[in-house]
Structure 1
Amino acid sequence: MAPLWLLAMLSLAGGFGLALGWRAWARHRGVVDAPDERRLHATPTPRGGGIGIAIVLLAAAPWLGQGSAWFAAGLVLCAGAGLVDDLRPLSPLAKGLLQAAGAACLAVAYPLWPDLWGAAVGHVLAGVVVLVMVNFWNFMDGSNGLAASQALFAALGLAALAPTLAPAAWLAVALAASCLGFLPLNFPRARLFLGDVGSHALGFAIAALLLMVAGTSGGSPWLLVLPVSAMVLDASLTLLSRARRRQVLWRAHREHLYQRAVAHGWSHAGICALYAAWTLAATGLALWLARQPAPWAMAGSGMALGFGIIAYSLLGRAWPRPAATGRTPHGSPTG
């Protein structure tokens, strides 16, 4: 088995080189995102650059040991659904079915706490986790560097919470390094977008890390949500707000907190830094709470999430949603 540093270097080079090659191909073939009323960019930009991350993760699958074949199959289905949609529009139903098939593959290998409520429920809950992470990362991929940097920090944070290095560390290193390789093309100025293939791959890998670490996390499994809380809070609270106002949930919009911040004058770099600061602080808190008695860990993580909900509400008032948001009759279901 190769050392972690070699896996990191190969993943870094792969994430950058494959993205760079895809950018040239996408520009030649016209696979670009054009500016419109729901997007935050002003010039046509090639999409689908996250295919490099997906390929790196697929290449790293053999290092995951037991469950690696299911991981690879699920990744191909989820990232493949995104790739098809990047190349030509895919209906929400078809995309959802492919995501569900990919989620089922990963759930077979890594059921969520089957000892607690039985294998069948554990498989179902694991599938839900995968679908949530895939779609949340998709929704949150709309600002330069945000989705890739959050996946990088979350991967390292989740690996740090694992009581043993393998196999979560191998996946975390491959994910973090490939994201680092992609970021120079996406941040601070976006010359290439992840596309759905990239956001799906990131969400799928984060879900895999969550399920792997949850299986070995001992008495403090609730701490695992803290490294992903920035993405989860924004995506889930925005989704609940839209549901409360009876809007079509899969229709593209500009209501996420990061989108509203950019609309009110924040730079993409500022938004990326703000979310990174939250994730690093939340991960540091999780690592500290992991050394405390279980009741303190539960209370501390609950208070952190409660503070995040309050912060979302206060910032939402400072950055009110656009008056016409969510009523555009066209667009893909991404955030």
Structure 2
Amino acid sequence: MTSITLILFTILLFGIMYLYLQMADRYHIIDAPNKRSSHAIHTKRGGGIIFPIALFIEFVFSGYQYGWFIMGLMLISAISFLDDIKNQDFKLRFSIHLLAVSLLFYQLDFYVFPWYIVLMAFIFVIGGINAINFMDGINGITGSYSLITLLSLLYINITYVQFIDHMILMVAITAVLVFNFFNFRKAARCFAGDVGSVSIAFILLFFILKLITVTGNLNYILLLLVYGLDVVSTVFFRVIRKENIFEAHRSHLYQFLANEKNFPHLMVSIIYGLAQMAVNLCLIFLPINKISYLALILTITGMLFVAFRLFVQGKRSLLKGVDIRDN
């Protein structure tokens, strides 16, 4: 992608975003605050629609590369956008998610693996999509975290191993930068919505799985380590408190920092982004390719993260069912 093409593409995406914001205002696609929200004003929802739109444009102009992946992305983005407008039936959403992931796996040639490997991959991807969706709760966190991950993937693609066409990574990065212009603010112009968080999750997981299949290195799942630690530890504590883990809540660490400790949203988003950047730098410049090392890293970081949360949030709120949502 030449500099002029990239500039024109960026201008096009800004134009699409402005048109979408006008449409969202006209048709009242709004995120209204409630007791689980980390914001206090009505804000346009669904700005993350720019992610699948950008990749579809790239798909057309690249000669229709990665068609099965794009088809899955369009399906999962469509049902997520409909869910942003009006809550959709869980069975319908889950069925579309399964179909989209099935197309993703076809693109990656996963069906040559034994059935149990495919099953574990399904669990990982569906869980990953939901985890990234859960983490989209404050201004800037989805955009900054995604940008760090995408830039790391681009660096790996250019410097170490070309696992995918450079252009699709650059297009994804450009879309995230355009979205950040509207979202990475004290008072966001729009939120990603389910269409944004789910679609960027699908995109990131495709890139990471593509990298893993080309290199055979499972340690690249650490590119999502910080989000994973927050989500898994939150589920762990909710199970201990005997809460329904499928019910909406705001007990993630990032939500505690933003809501209970009153850290500015952008500060929390930057902290998460920098933490993941540190992990990515270690992964890039201290390469490892052993399952035993991966298991050790996940165990140690998991224990440290749980200990940190107990120290910061306190045993009472994390272990004894004190509802911090209404405090």
- TM-score w.r.t. the length of structure 2 is 0.86
- The one of 124, 138, 141 equivalent to 1:143 is 138
Alpha-carbon offset, residue 238 of structure 1: 1.2
| Partner residue in 2 for 1:132 | 127
What letter corresponds to residue 279 of structure 2 in structure 1? Answer: A
- The one of 232, 239, 244 equivalent to 2:240 is 244
| Partner residue in 2 for 1:153 | 148
- Cα deviation per residue 1:105-146 (whole Å; 9 max; x = unaligned)? 1011114595xxx35444434433331222111100001010
- The CA RMSD over aligned residues, in Å, is 2.7
Distance 1:6 1:309 in 2: 48
The answer on 1:311 being equivalent to 2:305 is: yes
What letter corresponds to residue 262 of structure 1 in structure 2? Answer: A
Alpha-carbon offset, residue 149 of structure 1: 1.4
Structure 1 residues 47 and 306, CA, compared in 2 at 3 Å: closer, same or farther? Answer: same
Number of residues paired by the alignment?
Answer: 317
| Partner residue in 1 for 2:33 | 35
Question: Residues 18 and 51 of structure 1 are in contact (CA less than 8 Å); yes or no, is this contact kept in structure 2?
Answer: no
Structure 1 residues 6 and 230, CA, compared in 2 at 3 Å: closer, same or farther? Answer: farther
Alpha-carbon offset, residue 309 of structure 1: 4.1
Distance 2:10 2:122 in 1: 29
- Cα deviation per residue 1:60-88 (whole Å; 9 max; x = unaligned)? 23578897121111101111111010111
The answer on 1:45 being equivalent to 2:65 is: no
Distance 1:64 1:101 in 2: 24
- The one of 279, 282, 285 equivalent to 1:285 is 282
Question: Residues 113 and 215 of structure 1 are in contact (CA less than 8 Å); yes or no, is this contact kept in structure 2?
Answer: no
Output aligned runs, 1:74-223, within 5 Å. 74-112=72-110, 114=112, 118-162=113-157, 163-165=160-162, 167=164, 169-189=166-186, 190-218=188-216, 221-223=217-219
The answer on 1:254 being equivalent to 2:250 is: yes
Alpha-carbon offset, residue 207 of structure 1: 0.9
Alpha-carbon offset, residue 246 of structure 1: 3.1
Alpha-carbon offset, residue 5 of structure 1: 4.7
Question: Residues 152 and 179 of structure 1 are in contact (CA less than 8 Å); yes or no, is this contact kept in structure 2?
Answer: yes
Structure 1 residues 179 and 311, CA, compared in 2 at 3 Å: closer, same or farther? Answer: same
Moved more, 79-88 or 154-163: 154-163
The answer on 1:268 being equivalent to 2:265 is: yes
- The one of 198, 211, 221 equivalent to 1:225 is 221
Question: Mind listing any 5+ residue stretches in structure 2 that lack a counterpart?
Answer: none
State, as a whole percentage, how many aligned pairs show the same letter.
23
Question: Residues 161 and 224 of structure 1 are in contact (CA less than 8 Å); yes or no, is this contact kept in structure 2?
Answer: no
Distance 1:319 1:28 in 2: 41
Structure 1 residues 251 and 198, CA, compared in 2 at 3 Å: closer, same or farther? Answer: same
Please identify runs of 4+ aligned residues in structure 1 that moved more than 4 A. Answer: 4-8, 62-67, 111-114
Alpha-carbon offset, residue 313 of structure 1: 3.2
| Partner residue in 1 for 2:323 | 324
Structure 1 residues 88 and 61, CA, compared in 2 at 3 Å: closer, same or farther? Answer: same
Question: Mind listing any 5+ residue stretches in structure 1 that lack a counterpart?
Answer: 328-335
What letter corresponds to residue 73 of structure 2 in structure 1? Answer: L
Distance 1:145 1:103 in 2: 27
Structure 1 residues 9 and 106, CA, compared in 2 at 3 Å: closer, same or farther? Answer: farther
The answer on 1:13 being equivalent to 2:7 is: no
Distance 1:121 1:100 in 2: 16
